[in-house]
Amino acid sequence: MPSPEEDRQAIANRLRTAREHAGLSQGQVAKLFGYQRPTISEIEAGRRRVSAEELAKFCEIYDVSVSWIATEQSEVSNPNVELAARELVKLKKEDLDKVMNLLQTLRKSERKTR
């Protein structure tokens, strides 16, 4: 079982990952919270605890679930897959088709190199 410090660091890492995938800077997030940028830096470094209210707001801003931030539990095992899926659903059908074709090409290329 992880220690409280390990849990805090894991949450901090997932908050940073979610922010990056949301395409936001620490400064932008700080502005949304009404904080100074170093506060977000301290949170992402695991040196500042996050309240339940703050956690809920981070999840709303980053469009991720509280359970993923708090425990990294998700329907999919890789958080990058979940975050990518969230972006894919925002695409137009023709753009999604292009992405799917690209993925198929990458998979074929991967099989050939094995």
Structure tokens at 98: 């292009």
Cβ neighbours, 10 Å, residue 43: 26
Mark the ranges of the chain whose per-residue pLDDT is less than 50: 75-76
Structure tokens at 89: 């659903």
This prediction has a pTM of: 0.65
Tens of pLDDT, residue by residue over 46-68, are 999 999 999 999 999 998 888 88
The number of residues in the chain equals: 114
**Nearest Cα residue to 32 out of 64, 8, 60, 67:** 60
Q: What DSSP designation does 77 have? A: S
Q: How is the chain split into domains, by residue range? A: 1-73, 76-114
Nearest 5°: the CA angle 16, 107, 100 is: 70
The CATH architecture assigned to 1-73 reads Orthogonal Bundle (1.10)
